Structure 1
Amino acid sequence: MIRDTSSQDTAIVRPKGRRRLAIVTALVAAVALAAWSMPQARRLWGAGSSVSIERLGLDDVARGPFVRDIQAEGRVVAAFSPTLFAPQAGAVTLQVHAGDSVRKGQVLATIASPDLTAKLAQELATADTLQTDTLRAKVEAGEERAALQGARENAAIDVKAAETDLARQQKAYDAGAAAGMQVDHARDALEKARIALAHAEAGLHSKDDSLRFELQSKEQAHARQVLLVQDLQRQVGELAVKSPVDGQVGQLFVAERASVAKDAQLLTVIDLTQLEVQMQVAESFARDLAVGMPGEISGNGQTWKARVSGISPEVVQNQVAARLRFDGAMPEQLRQNQRLSVRVLLDQRPDVLSVRAGSFIDESGGQYAYVVRDGVAVKTPVRLGARSVDRVEIVSGLKAGDRVVVSGADNFHAEPTVALAH
C-alpha cells in the first residue's frame, strides 16, 4: 500500500469578518460601474447605430467674414491670335518659320494663282478697249454735233436772206416796180426757210440727247469694267499674305510649296502685346461668373490685378473656360502657355454664419446635417446658402458653436441619430 500525504493536509478556516468585507467591496464596485455606464447605455439604446468618430470629419459652425472666390491654375494666351487663310487656290510659298517675330504688314506667305493673274490681264484688256470706245464715241459725237450745228446755222442764214429778199420785193412792189406775185413768192421762201431752221434746231437738240445718252452708256460700261479690274487687283494683292499685327508666328498649317484650296488655313500670328490668362472653372461656379468681376493673377513672385474679360458659352467636360485681362499695364516677361495662379472674387460679406464645406453637402443634397451632441450625431434640417471653395453659408438650422459632421456622414445611412464611438 502506497502512502499519501493526507496526514500532512490541514484545513484552513476563513475568518468570517474578511469574507464579509470582500462581498461589500464587490457590491460597491458593481454599483459604481452601473452608474458610470448608464449615460453611455442610454445613448447606445437610443441611437440607431454606432460609428467610430475617427472616420469622420468635424468642424464648428462659426460667424465671420465670408469670401466667395474661385482659385485655379491659368494659362497665358494671346487675346488676339488671328489665323490667316488662303484667299485663292494655288501653291504656297512661306516667307517665315514658326516662332519668327514679324511686323504688321510684313509678307508671311505668297500664293501663286495663274488663273487669277490671267483673268486680271484679260479684264485689263477689256477695260482698255472700253476706254477706247468711249473716247471714239466722244469724237464721233463731236463730229455729228458739229454737222448738225452747221446745218442749223445755214438754216438761220437762209431765213435772214429770205427776210431781206421779202423786204426788197415789198419795197419794189410799193414803188410799182415789181408784181405782187414776186412779193408772194418771197414770202413763201421766207416761210420755208423758217421751217427749215426750226427742223434744224429740233434735230440738233434731239441728237444732243441721243449722243449724250450713248456716250454716258459707254462711260458707265468703262467705269464698271474699271471696278472689276480694281477688285481683281485687290485679289491679286491679297496673294501676298501679310501679318495683321506685330507679334510672332505661331503654328504653320501647310508645308512649303503645298497646293491649297481657297480659304485653307495657312498659319497663325500671336499678338504678344495683348495677353490674357485663361482658366477652367467648374460648371457649378461658372454660373456665378460675370464679365468685369475683379481677380488676381500670380506668378514669377508677383501679383497683378485683373478682371474677367470673357466667359465661354460652352460647357466642356463639366468645365467652362473664362479669360482674365490684366487691369493696367501689361506685365513683362510673360510667355505664351505660361502657367499662372488665378483667383476671381465672386462675393465678400463681413458677418456670415458658415461651416467648412465637405461631402455632407452632396450626401444630403443640402437638406440636413449631423450635429454632434453628447457623443451622438443628430440629423438636423438645415438650409444652405452661398458656397466658396472651402466654406458654405448656413442660412438656418444651425447656430454658432455647433459641431457638424462635414465628411463621412455616408456611414450614417441617413439614420436620425448615430452614436459616436471613441
Structure 2
Amino acid sequence: MDVPRTGAKRRKLIRRLAAILILAVAIPLVTWGLSRLKPAAPSVEKGTLWTGEVQRGPMVRQVRGLGTLTPEEVLWIPAVHDGRVDRVRLRPGANVSPDTILVELSNPELELEAEDLRWQVRAAEANLRDLRVKLETAQLDLKATLARAESEYVQAKLKSDREEALAKEGLAPDLNVRLARATSEELAKRLAIDTKRLEISASSTEAQLAVQQVQIEKLRAALKLKQSQVAGLRIRAGASGVLQQMQVEVGQRVTPGAVIAKVAQPSKLKAEIRIPETQAKDVMIGQPVQVDTHNGVIAGRVSRIDPAAVSGNVTIDVRLEGALPAGARPDLSVDGVVELERLTDVMYVQRPVYGQANSLVGLFRLTPDGKEAHRVQVRIGRVSVQTVEIVEGLNVGDRVVLSDMSAWDGQDRLRLN
C-alpha cells in the first residue's frame, strides 16, 4: 500500500525560491563583471606603422619651402614707339650683348616724318646761305654809300676852305663862304649817319644770321630725335645675358611701352622660396639656407622677406653663396630649408604626420614588448622640418607611432601583429 509523503510540496517550493534567489544575485554579478572587461583591441600590422624613439640632445629648428631660381637682374625690354613687327631675329635661349638686335619694327609714318625733317633742315641751310649773301650785298651797298658820302664831304670841306681863303683876300663874297660851309656841315652829318648805319647793319646781320642758325639747330635737333626714334624701331638687348622670353611675333602690332622681350644673366641667380605663413614668423634676414636643386645643394642666406603673404605663403629671397651646380637655370624648381636656431638640450622625436607647434596631440606609445600601443596625450613645443620638441607626455626611450592613425581615432589601445 502507498505511504503518503509529508512535506514534499514545501521542499519543492523552497528549492524553487533558492534557485530564483541565486539567479537574482548571479545575473547582476555577471553583468557587472562583463562591464568591467576591456573590449578586444583591434589588430594592426606592425610593419605598416612608422615609429620613432624619443631622444634628448641637440635639435636644429628648420622650416622648408618650395620655390624657383630667378635671375638677380632682369631687364624687361619695352617698345619705345608704335610699330609693326617685321622680323624676330632671336628666340629664347640665345646669348645676347647690349647691341644685339632682337626685333625689327616698321613705322612708315615715323620714317616719313624723319625724311620730311631732313628736307626741312636742308631748306633751312639753303635759306641761311641765301640770307648771308643778301646781307653781305646790303653791307657792300652801305659801304659804297659811305665811301661816296665821305668823298663828297671831303670835296665840300676843301671847297669851303678855299672859299674862306679867298674871302680873307677879298676875292670871294661872303655868301659863297657861308654856302660852302653849310654844304660841308651837311655832308659831315650825312657821313656820320651813314657810318652809324653801317655799324647797325653789321649788328643786324649777325642777329638775322643767328636767328636763322637757331632755326636750323632746332630742325637738326628734331631730325636727330626723329632719327633716333626710327633707329629705335630696331629693338636691342641693352645688356649682356641670355634671352629669356620673346613676347611678340611677326605681323603683330605693338604700342609704346609694350614688353618685347626679357633678358637675364643666368650666372647671377637667387632663390625665391615660399614658406607657409604659419612657419614664417621666425624667419629673419641673414639666416643660413640650404637650397636643393635636385642636382646639388647650394648654401645661401636670407636676403629679403616679402612683407605680405600670398595664398598662405610668405616669399623670401635667398642670396646664393656657393657655386651653381650643373643645370642650374632660371625658373628651375628647388627646395629650400631655412635654419632658424640650434637648441642644445631638448627632448625630441621625429615629426609625426599631425603635429603643430605648441599643441596637444594624441600619439600611440608602444609597450616595452612592442605588442601593443596605447594612446597618450603629448604636448608639442617647437617644431622643425623633421623633428618636434616634446614638452610633456613622453620620456626618453619611449617609442611612438608617427604615421597617420586617423583611422583609429576611436581607439585608445591597439594590438600590434
TM-score of the pair, normalised by structure 1: 0.64
Aligned residue for 2:257, secondary structure, equals: coil
1:123 equivalent to 2:117? Answer yes
Distance 1:154 1:288 in 2: 101
Aligned residue for 1:263, secondary structure, equals: coil
What's the CA shift for 1:74?
Answer: 3.5
Paired AA for residue 65 in structure 2: A
| 2:59 and 2:348 in contact (8 A); partners too | no
Structure 1 residues 171, 144: CA separation in 2 closer, same or farther (over 3 Å shift)? same
Structure 1 residues 143, 288: CA separation in 2 closer, same or farther (over 3 Å shift)? farther
Out of 63, 67, 74, the position equivalent to 2:67 is 74
What's the CA shift for 1:348?
Answer: 4.8
In structure 2, stretches of 5+ residues that fail to align are: 1-50, 361-375, 397-401, 403-411
Deviates more, 1:175-184 or 1:324-333: 324-333
Distance 1:78 1:324 in 2: 11
Deviates more, 1:216-225 or 1:264-273: 264-273
Structure 1 residues 58, 118: CA separation in 2 closer, same or farther (over 3 Å shift)? same
1:281 equivalent to 2:270? Answer no
1:187 equivalent to 2:181? Answer yes
| 2:65 and 2:336 in contact (8 A); partners too | yes
Structure 1 residues 179, 329: CA separation in 2 closer, same or farther (over 3 Å shift)? farther
In structure 1, stretches of 5+ residues that fail to align are: 1-56, 365-376, 408-419
Distance 2:347 2:184 in 1: 118
Residue 85 of structure 1: aligned partner: 78
| 1:91 and 1:113 in contact (8 A); partners too | no
| 2:74 and 2:265 in contact (8 A); partners too | yes
Residue 220 of structure 1: aligned partner: 214
| 2:85 and 2:103 in contact (8 A); partners too | no
| 1:65 and 1:348 in contact (8 A); partners too | no
Give runs of aligned pairs for residues 395-410 of structure 1, distance below 5 A.
none
User: Size of the alignment, in residue pairs?
Assistant: 345
| 2:357 and 2:383 in contact (8 A); partners too | no
What's the CA shift for 1:247?
Answer: 2.9
Distance 1:324 1:138 in 2: 69
What's the CA shift for 1:164?
Answer: 2.7
What's the CA shift for 1:339?
Answer: 3.2
What's the CA shift for 1:236?
Answer: 0.9
What's the CA shift for 1:110?
Answer: 0.6
Residue 245 of structure 1: aligned partner: 239
Distance 2:188 2:285 in 1: 86
Identity %: 19
Distance 1:292 1:137 in 2: 72
What's the CA shift for 1:120?
Answer: 1.2
1:101 equivalent to 2:101? Answer no
Structure 1 residues 335, 156: CA separation in 2 closer, same or farther (over 3 Å shift)? same
Deviates more, 1:286-295 or 1:166-175: 286-295
1:297 equivalent to 2:302? Answer no
- Residue deviations 1:322-353 (CA, integer Å, cap 9, x gap): 222333766664222223343445x6577798
Structure 1 residues 294, 362: CA separation in 2 closer, same or farther (over 3 Å shift)? closer
Aligned residue for 1:268, secondary structure, equals: strand
Distance 1:190 1:254 in 2: 87
Deviates more, 1:173-182 or 1:114-123: 173-182
TM-score of the pair, normalised by structure 2: 0.65
Deviates more, 1:353-362 or 1:164-173: 353-362
- Residue deviations 1:39-95 (CA, integer Å, cap 9, x gap): xxxxxxxxxxxxxxxxxx999998x87866544333222223323333322233111
Paired AA for residue 216 in structure 2: H
Residue 327 of structure 1: aligned partner: 321
RMSD: 4.6
Aligned residue for 2:309, secondary structure, equals: strand
Out of 158, 172, 175, the position equivalent to 2:169 is 175
| 1:92 and 1:259 in contact (8 A); partners too | no
What's the CA shift for 1:240?
Answer: 1.1
Paired AA for residue 85 in structure 1: P
